[in-house]
Structure 1
Amino acid sequence: MPLNLKKLQLGRFPKWLWITILILVVIRLALPYVGLYTINWALANKMGTYDGRIQDFDLSLYRGAYQLQGLQIKKKNSDLPPILAVKEIDLSIAWRTLLSGKIAADVQIDRMVVRLMDSDKKEKKQLGNDEPGAEDAAKAIIPVSVESVVVKNSAFYFTNNDLKIALPVQIESIYGKVEDLLTRARGLSESISPFELEGFAMGHSQIKIDGKVDALATPIRLDVNFSLVEFHPKSVNALLLSYLPLDLTSGEISLYGETAMSKGNVIGYINLFLKDVDVVAPDQKLLGVKHFFIEVISAAANWILKNKEKVLAAHIPFSKTGEKFDVKYGEAFSSAIENRKEPLKKGFDNSISLKNLEAK
């Protein structure tokens, strides 16, 4: 049966309803432009020696979300690359927090690149620290509290621009996640928020960090495991030499550690493994008396303490109580001696936790 348009009773709807619908449509069309302008204004005017912009702002009203594309933050009047570039930021309402009366967001960050640069020359330096108004700019991008964050396909680069060949220290293929930042119960160690972070250093060595954090505590409470596996120190030797007068010209470094922090106090350890590491190479140039003595002492210790597998290993405990930070060098040296007889096991001791720390 054909539709008879004359029988449609559109006129039965009140005029105020049509006006309301029209206003809502106009607001929906205008919101992306308002959001784009507001964020770009904050990025351009609130960050001191830096400014930034986003290329696009999209809304997804059906899931209570918006997306920012093409975020870039650069140093003003500089040829340096952006200190921060992000392909896309997705911010959506964390519906579970509404049950406790809180408005918060789940944030996903895709293809973020951070580039920090150090130099004795101000125009070649960008570390982004202590910039006035940076917090205001961040609030323009994410104007509500954060319940969870996921970072994927991202990278970090650090370059010393004073080196003859300014090769960056790089961590790529970064994936990170932290959840339940607001919905966890305050002060309960079994209820704090899980997090994880991983990536590849210099394209060959996997970094892993995972644990739990209580972001609601002041100061924060933290229980974390971290590892760096089969890292080639030669890949960052020039940078090491610029900050520490020490050359590591070959071999591999692996480390495994645990640490816990609560009420400003810290306990932890690092299990350090140096395999086939040469501290002084035959053709190495020494940069001064201090460099000479550090190299000779390090090389001697490396030669004396290696086990039959040519691995130097040590268990290095550390702690902080109040303002006092303490490294147990005696225990570290004893473990290195013991490693010559009985190789230190690679991996975690599983001996550190918030429960251990807070029981003291």
Structure 2
Amino acid sequence: MSARPIKKKYIIIGSIILLLIILRLLLPYIVLRYANNTLANMNGYYGHVQDIDIALYRGAYQLNNIYINKLDSATRKQTEFFKAQTIDLSVEWRALFEGSLVGELELFSPKLVFTKDKAEIGQVAKDTNDFRKVLKDFMPLKVNRFEVHNGSIHYVDSTSAPKVDISLKNTYILARNLKNTSDKKEKLPSSLVARANAYGGDLSLDMKLDGLAKEPTFDLTAQMTSANLVDLNDFFKAYGKFDVSKGSLALYSEFAADNGNFKGYVKPIVKELQVKGTEDKHDPFLQKAKETVIDAAAHVLKNPKKKQVATKVNVEGRFHDSHTDIMGAVWEVLKNAFIEALLPSVDNEIDISSASEVPQDEKKGFFKRLFGGKDDDKKKEAQEKEIKEKEEKRKKEGLERFKTANEH
């Protein structure tokens, strides 16, 4: 072989390598321009990305310092809606090794803001198709894993006096197996966990779900502990026209959904509530009167042993026709105040089988609830006994797991 063909061969190889290097250097700018063009032409929104990093070795790229604002079509004024320090989009290698080509989405320090009359939850929900289109443009693979680090969620009302800004901070979310790439025989193969700080309290949510079901199918448990109500005074002043000088809020809930049905409960517990404090002495007379009435009502409905106001609201029905048992909530308040305190924990009484068939409630009058017959009392005692047994079993299993972990 002559020297000329060999030289030509190396020239071709070198040219290809040089072309790949140039393409790699230009790729972030090409993708950045495409991303900003896409974000600038969203219907009802405007967004921008400051920088893009590409990591070909792991099949990923990162959007740095991204924001998406709600855009007023008439005034062109923008309202803060979403921003994040970094969004990482990549191939999920674990699923790839299991034979599924899917993606994972990771957000660092994201902030989501819902604003009254401008970017409310209901309005944003109607725009989900636009967001799905943008996500599909940025991530052609179906997202199987989703993770959020150090996020915050806000609800803002700038029209109220004082201005309301309630939030969850230090939020962590992890959703796995959303496209059911593993555990395919499980009824609820996907999972979602969330943790957040809420005004000195901790919020936790655990959910098993079927992400591919035609109708919502899930089993959810959530609780919030020891949120300081004093920190929510702007909210109380704006919407209730009163403020709190002392008190904490705990919230426990379970919900399940299957076959278009859902069933669950919400159990809020307020402890050591004081509405009228010494700092209110300069308030107008009507304001003092209102706070005195609220404070008196709280004391009337307070359990003397637990020093708490609590109720349990049962909610069940179909997704097109929900029903909240309001009289049941009133009954639980009175029952808690004068008979017993609600246990400050989830009741472990709702699971996926609870939602399979939602029975029609027997319609009872208020006084029948309050002064039920012996049959009602026996039924209630049996239910309470079952709940306590489940709670004791859960604690026992937790203790056994703890002992086993220590032994290892």
Same fold (TM over 0.5): yes
- Residues 125-204 of structure 1 correspond to what in structure 2 (within 5 A)? 125-127=118-120, 129=124, 130-131=126-127, 133-184=130-181, 189-202=186-199, 204=200
Whether contact under 8 Å (1:230, 1:254) holds in the other structure is: yes
1:310 Cα deviation from its structure 2 partner: 2.0
Structure 1 pair 307–75 and aligned structure 2 pair: CA distance change class (3 A): closer
| In structure 2, C-alpha distance between the alignment counterparts of 1:240 and 1:62, rounded to whole Å | 53
Q: Partner of 1:239 in structure 2? A: 235
Whether contact under 8 Å (1:279, 1:299) holds in the other structure is: yes
| In structure 1, C-alpha distance between the alignment counterparts of 2:326 and 2:161, rounded to whole Å | 36
SS in 2 for 1:83: strand
| In structure 2, C-alpha distance between the alignment counterparts of 1:89 and 1:100, rounded to whole Å | 25
Aligned residue type for 2:201: S
Moved more, 189-198 or 349-358: 189-198
Whether contact under 8 Å (1:186, 1:216) holds in the other structure is: no
Structure 1 pair 260–247 and aligned structure 2 pair: CA distance change class (3 A): farther
- Residues 71-86 of structure 1 correspond to what in structure 2 (within 5 A)? 71-76=66-71, 77-78=76-77, 80=79, 82-86=80-84
1:246 Cα deviation from its structure 2 partner: 6.8
User: 2:206 aligned with 1:210, yes or no?
Assistant: yes
| In structure 2, C-alpha distance between the alignment counterparts of 1:134 and 1:286, rounded to whole Å | 50
Moved more, 135-144 or 152-161: 135-144
Q: Partner of 1:116 in structure 2? A: 114
1:164 Cα deviation from its structure 2 partner: 3.4
Whether contact under 8 Å (2:161, 2:238) holds in the other structure is: no
Structure 1 pair 92–187 and aligned structure 2 pair: CA distance change class (3 A): closer
Whether contact under 8 Å (1:186, 1:214) holds in the other structure is: no
Moved more, 97-106 or 50-59: 97-106
Whether contact under 8 Å (1:97, 1:182) holds in the other structure is: no
Structure 1 pair 159–343 and aligned structure 2 pair: CA distance change class (3 A): same
Q: Partner of 1:313 in structure 2? A: 310
Deviations 1:148-191 (A, max 9, x none): 01100111222211233325212111111000111357985544
Structure 1 pair 10–346 and aligned structure 2 pair: CA distance change class (3 A): farther
Equivalent residue for 1:70, pick from 54, 65, 77 = 65
Q: Partner of 1:342 in structure 2? A: 340
Equivalent residue for 1:269, pick from 244, 252, 265 = 265
Moved more, 82-91 or 240-249: 240-249
Give the number of aligned pairs: 341
Whether contact under 8 Å (2:187, 2:210) holds in the other structure is: no
| In structure 1, C-alpha distance between the alignment counterparts of 2:206 and 2:333, rounded to whole Å | 27
| In structure 2, C-alpha distance between the alignment counterparts of 1:273 and 1:96, rounded to whole Å | 42
Aligned residue type for 1:321: R
SS in 1 for 2:110: strand
Instruction: Return 5+ residue gaps in structure 2 as ranges.
Output: 359-408
Structure 1 pair 168–209 and aligned structure 2 pair: CA distance change class (3 A): same
Q: Partner of 2:24 in structure 1? A: 28
Q: Partner of 1:91 in structure 2? A: 89
Structure 1 pair 187–262 and aligned structure 2 pair: CA distance change class (3 A): farther
Structure 1 pair 295–259 and aligned structure 2 pair: CA distance change class (3 A): farther
Deviations 1:34-86 (A, max 9, x none): 111111000011232x2111111111111111111110123455475x32111
Whether contact under 8 Å (1:225, 1:257) holds in the other structure is: yes
Deviations 1:303-340 (A, max 9, x none): 32211232122232211235332233444344334434
Whether contact under 8 Å (1:218, 1:263) holds in the other structure is: no
Structure 1 pair 190–322 and aligned structure 2 pair: CA distance change class (3 A): closer
The structure 1 segments of at least 4 consecutive aligned residues displaced by more than 6 Å after TM superposition are: none
1:112 Cα deviation from its structure 2 partner: 0.6
Q: Partner of 1:103 in structure 2? A: 101
Aligned residue type for 1:315: K
Whether contact under 8 Å (2:250, 2:270) holds in the other structure is: yes
Aligned residue type for 1:351: E
1:135 Cα deviation from its structure 2 partner: 3.6
Structure 1 pair 286–104 and aligned structure 2 pair: CA distance change class (3 A): farther
1:229 Cα deviation from its structure 2 partner: 1.1
Equivalent residue for 1:37, pick from 12, 24, 33 = 33
Identity between Structure 1 and Structure 2 (%): 24
User: 2:352 aligned with 1:354, yes or no?
Assistant: yes
| In structure 2, C-alpha distance between the alignment counterparts of 1:213 and 1:107, rounded to whole Å | 19
Whether contact under 8 Å (2:162, 2:237) holds in the other structure is: no
1:213 Cα deviation from its structure 2 partner: 1.8
Whether contact under 8 Å (1:154, 1:174) holds in the other structure is: yes
Whether contact under 8 Å (2:87, 2:106) holds in the other structure is: yes
Structure 1 pair 66–351 and aligned structure 2 pair: CA distance change class (3 A): same
1:241 Cα deviation from its structure 2 partner: 4.9
Q: Partner of 2:374 in structure 1? A: none
Whether contact under 8 Å (1:175, 1:199) holds in the other structure is: yes
TM (norm. structure 2) is 0.73
Instruction: Return 5+ residue gaps in structure 1 as ranges.
Output: 1-6, 120-124
| In structure 2, C-alpha distance between the alignment counterparts of 1:217 and 1:287, rounded to whole Å | 54
